[in-house]
Amino acid sequence: MPIINIHLFEGRTVDQKRKLASEVTDAVCRSLNVAPDVVRIIMSEMAGENFSIAGVLKSDQPAK
């Protein structure tokens, strides 16, 4: 049973997460030759203050 962990910054819509789950499931099924019902996806959302790049919090970096 493939278990996929995806870490995201907060702010995605439910529709975006639905699309992500569907497309990741399709890719896993094609590449591993498994049925969709065995694929598990865990999406973890985090705030920008819980992630840093080069010692600077993501929430303190300019928006891109």
pLDDT per position as a tens digit, 16-46: 999 999 999 999 999 999 999 999 999 999 9
Structure pTM? 0.84
How confident is the model at residue 64, as a pLDDT? 73
Query: Per-domain residue ranges for the chain?
Result: 3-60
User: 25 burial class (0-12, 13-18, 19+ CB within 10 angstroms)?
Assistant: buried
Percent of the chain scored above 90 by pLDDT?
A: 89
Q: Which of 1, 2, 30, 37 is catalytic?
A: 2
Domain 3-60: CATH class, spelled out: alpha beta
- Average pLDDT, stretch 1-29? 97
Rounded CA-CA distance 43/12 in Å is 11
- Average pLDDT, stretch 46-56? 93
Rounded CA-CA distance 63/56 in Å is 13
Tell me the average pLDDT of the chain: 95
Cβ contact 28:2 at 8 Å:
yes
- Residue 56 one-letter amino acid: V
Give the end-to-end CA distance of the chain in Å, rounded to a whole number: 36
Q: Is 62 an annotated catalytic residue?
A: no
